[in-house]
Amino acid sequence: MKPSGEDQAAPAAGPWEECFQAAVQLALRAGQIIRKALTEEKRVSTKTSAADLVTETDHLVEDLIISELRERFPSHRFIAEEAAASGAKCVLTHSPTWIIDPIDGTCNFVHRFPTVAVSIGFAVRQELEFGVIYHCTEERLYTGRRGRGAFCNGQRLRVSGETDLSKALVLTEIGPKRDPATLKLFLSNMERLLHAKAHGVRVIGSSTLALCHLASGAADAYYQFGLHLLGSGGLPREAGGIVIDTSGGPLDLMACRVVAAGTREMAMLIAQALQTINYGRDDEK
């Protein structure tokens, strides 16, 4: 099936339609580059830790997306994964802002593990308007637009609606820190959920695709500390779910932490079980 952002029953075009269509086309183009490069030799560098990787393809894809969007929308702002890693300030203002992760799942990409995605989000007045995620190896295009629903290749997505943690499959990611104190907290949080009789806790190596699985109903909850550039955070919301801060309050896109679930009950159960892992804020680095 040819990837399609939404089905024919979607509402009429909104004020950011041109931006949305540009994101869809660029995600598909970037996905072709990533898919081809997946099986090739790679030059790999590290960022904040030995487990925080970046490749020449990350930079190539990010440069492609930003250059194309900047040419079409010169007044817009950009927050991008590799630019931020190089020292660019992550400041989310009220201006239209693109949030770009060229390869979400770079460690997977380096090892040819086929769970990688390109993520392009768009925020206005510090609120996500849409997210476009392309699962490069499975050719699945996920989209979520404020008030218009979430879709995968044109098929509407729906969260599971599970409220009982003892019946839940929970997804998470480790984050870039590997110091003993951080790892102890990470493992303790997993242990707490397993003691609460969760069916399972999974780490798939891509926070963006974890949120896609949540929006699809294939998982019931997701949490992470150390999550940067949450451009895909609106997808579960548009599939009927909830996305909040790990404190239980509203989501803060710059806070580097998130809990998402199909129901508020599940989200609060997860949030209440977690110990905080401090990664600071993206806009203070």
Three-state SS string across 32-54, please? HHHHHHCCCCCCEEECCCCCCEE
Of 159, 156, 38, 171, nearest in space to 106 by CA: 38
Beta bridge partners of 80: 100
CA atoms within 13 A of residue 15's CA, in its CB half-sphere: 7
Is residue 42 a contact partner of residue 110, using CB atoms and an 8 Å limit?
yes
Residue 34 and residue 32: Cα distance in Å, rounded?
6
Strands 44-46 and 200-203: unpaired
Strands 149-152 and 140-145: antiparallel
- DSSP states along 51-108: T-EEEHHHHHHHHHHHHHHHHH-TT-EEEEHHHHHTT------SS-EEEEEEEETHHH
Residue 145 and residue 141: Cα distance in Å, rounded?
13
The answer to whether the annotation marks 101 as part of a ligand binding site is: yes
The answer to whether the annotation marks 174 as part of a ligand binding site is: no
Is the Cα torsion angle 156, 161, 167, 171 positive or negative in sign? positive
207: its two tokens: 């926070």
The answer to whether the annotation marks 282 as part of a ligand binding site is: no
The answer to whether the annotation marks 284 as part of a ligand binding site is: no
Distances (CA, A) of 125 to 95, 121, 272: 6, 13, 29
> Where is the binding site, in residues?
81, 101, 103-104
> Where is the binding site for Mg(2+), in residues?
81, 101, 103-104
